[in-house]
């Protein structure tokens, strides 16, 4: 191979590499923009007012495992006069079982 053909081949692969890096940069930027934009959920009307948007931003704490969850995603349980929010159905059921066992022990010791 001549020197000239090696230089042309080097420049070709340099061009291909630079296009690939640029494409990757645009792909990552698009993914980051998409990840930071809020996605509308079923049952939540974002256009109706700020109340639905305000609810989506409020975090509540699961009393069983301590995880913070968005209020619109949390699973509520009415306990007396207060509403508790859970991260999953399993946590809600475990809390209800513990609560029932505690009440049974109090009634048995009565």
pLDDT of residue 20: 95
Residues 42, 68, 63: CA angle, nearest 5 degrees: 110
Residue 40: Cβ-neighbour burial (10 angstroms; 0-12, 13-18, 19+): exposed
Which tokens in the block code for residue 79?
């306990």
Stronger pLDDT, 68 or 53, i.e. the higher one: 68
Which phi and psi angles does 38 have, rounded to 5°? -70, 140
CA-based radius of gyration for the chain: 28
What are the residue ranges spanned by the domains of the chain? 1-37, 55-109
Question: CA separation (Å) from 95 to 26, 58, 73, 75, 105?
Answer: 47, 22, 18, 12, 15
Give the pTM: 0.46
Each residue's pLDDT tens digit, 11-59: 999 999 999 999 999 999 988 888 777 666 555 555 554 445 544 578 8
């Amino acid at each position: 191979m001549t020197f000239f053909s090696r230089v042309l081949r080097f420049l070709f692969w340099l061009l291909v590499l630079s296009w690939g890096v640029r494409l990757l940069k645009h792909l990552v930027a698009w993914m980051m923009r998409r990840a930071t934009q809020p996605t509308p959920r079923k049952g939540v009307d974002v256009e109706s007012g700020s109340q639905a948007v305000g609810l989506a931003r409020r975090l509540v704490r699961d009393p069983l495992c301590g995880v913070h969850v968005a209020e619109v995603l949390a699973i509520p349980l009415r306990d007396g006069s207060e509403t508790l929010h859970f991260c999953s159905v399993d946590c809600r059921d475990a809390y209800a079982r513990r609560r029932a066992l505690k009440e049974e022990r109090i009634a048995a010791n009565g």
